[in-house]
Structure 1
Amino acid sequence: MLENYLKKINILTDKEIEEIKSVGKKSNLKKADYFIREGETCKDVAFVLSGTLRSYYVSDKGEEITYCITFPNNFMTAYSSFITELSTEENIQAITNVELITIPKSIIDVLANQSPNWVRFLRLMAEKQYIELEKRIFQLQKNNASQRYSDLLKNQPEYIEKIPLQYLASYLGVSQRHLSRIRREISF
């Protein structure tokens, strides 16, 4: 899966892909386990082979706010902590059992110093993250909850099918009760 993903991007050579495969370490998270918790420093990036993760923070009212969901065939990390090497304010938790390939930042830094292809790849991943973040901000600010749910239903139906209601509601910025009402209205 990782190899196919990297080949599809068409930046890295076969040798560079083999290098990353050789240093990547498979690991598993059970449902409700954490990849990282608030206050820790993120030292790895992970490629999700199977399962689903959620990224969330705890509001000043003590509420868990889910802001990102990661499905298989995607990279995931506590990005700002990964870049700055400072502690993170987010939690990344398994919604289901998850199988990952983790790659330490120290190795990614070495690879980036050895090849401009890795620098290009890392820039592309950063740009992709920025675009997703911008889309999410615009959606939260421009659309009401029904529009956000309809957009999710149209563009990312796997979210609707595979994410527990409380996390989906948090992701959409509504209460579970409000989400249930929206779902009833849209299904008619």
Structure 2
Amino acid sequence: MEQFSEAQRDAMYANMFALFNQLYPLSPAVLATIRRHTNIVFFKRRSIILEHGKICRNCYFGLKGMVRAYYIKDDGQEITSWFMKEGDIIISVQSFFTQTESHEVLEALDDTLCISLRIDVLEEIYRKFPEFNFVGRKLTEHYYIQMENRAFSLRMDDARQRYDRLVAQHPDIITRVPIGYIASYLGISAETLSRIRSGTY
């Protein structure tokens, strides 16, 4: 585990709190409680943050790095469902909120640095500080809308449109994620994606 100075820790938490305060201005008391009951965690590149079949007990605020969520089909094929990076909440949504076994895997594609918050601590913060429920609701809305947009794109867009939408909305993913994972996320073959990127599709 990397060791950080107090100044470095302050900067990390300031990053997260800036996002929260954009959604709803939080009192010093709730911010102090969050800091006291969370941890800074580090995952090495290619490490598994959450295994298939395990319960997601923590959510993570991404400070550095890229994480992939994926499902494993019966034939062993991996289907990428999401990418999460700096400023994102890293989580297996269904497993975390229902506290049931996860159908997906969370994998660190890069060395990844996060702030970790346990489900029981989150629930206690919700009970003690009603103001933080607003932040939770706005974050849930944000990610639900993203999931709906992705589902719409998979149903309605052709391969080129899916790729163009990804480039427009998340241009950094194109340069930071292997082409095979991007193709899986878009629901197309790596060959098709290569043709799209080369202009021959």
TM category, shorter: over 0.9
Deviation string, structure 1 residues 15-47 (Cα, Å, up to 9, x no partner)? 212211221101111111111011000111100
CA RMSD of aligned residues (A): 1.4
Q: Is the CA contact 1:11–1:120 (under 8 Å) kept in the aligned structure 2?
A: no
SS in 2 for 1:60: coil
Q: Is the CA contact 1:3–1:17 (under 8 Å) kept in the aligned structure 2?
A: yes
Deviation string, structure 1 residues 99-144 (Cα, Å, up to 9, x no partner)? 0110111111111111211222222222122111100000111101
Count of paired positions:
187
Partner of 1:75: 89
Return the alpha-carbon distance in structure 1 between the equivalents of residues 147 and 103 of structure 2.
16
1:141 aligns to 2:158 (yes or no): no
Return the alpha-carbon distance in structure 2 between the equivalents of residues 82 and 157 of structure 1.
28
Question: Bigger shift: 172-181 or 49-58?
Answer: 172-181
Question: Bigger shift: 4-13 or 105-114?
Answer: 4-13
* Partner residue of 1:54 out of 68, 72, 77: 68
Partner of 1:2: 16
Unmatched segments (≥5 aa) in structure 1 = none
Please report the TM-score for the alignment, with normalisation by the length of structure 1: 0.94
Return the alpha-carbon distance in structure 2 between the equivalents of residues 41 and 35 of structure 1.
11
Partner of 1:110: 124
**Equivalent position amino acid for 1:35 in 2:** I
* Partner residue of 1:165 out of 176, 179, 186: 179
Partner of 2:189: 175
**Equivalent position amino acid for 1:172 in 2:** L
Moved over 3 A (4+): none
SS in 1 for 2:117: strand
**Equivalent position amino acid for 2:186 in 1:** L
Return the alpha-carbon distance in structure 2 between the equivalents of residues 128 and 138 of structure 1.
16
SS in 1 for 2:56: coil
**Equivalent position amino acid for 1:135 in 2:** N
1:120 aligns to 2:134 (yes or no): yes
Return the alpha-carbon distance in structure 2 between the equivalents of residues 186 and 23 of structure 1.
52
**Equivalent position amino acid for 2:192 in 1:** H
SS in 2 for 1:69: strand
* Partner residue of 1:87 out of 91, 95, 101: 101
SS in 1 for 2:42: strand
Q: How far off is 1:186 after superposition?
A: 7.2
Please report the TM-score for the alignment, with normalisation by the length of structure 2: 0.89
Deviation string, structure 1 residues 134-182 (Cα, Å, up to 9, x no partner)? 0000011110111111111222110111111111111111111111011
**Equivalent position amino acid for 2:138 in 1:** L
Alignment of 1:30-41 (within 5 A): 30-41=44-55
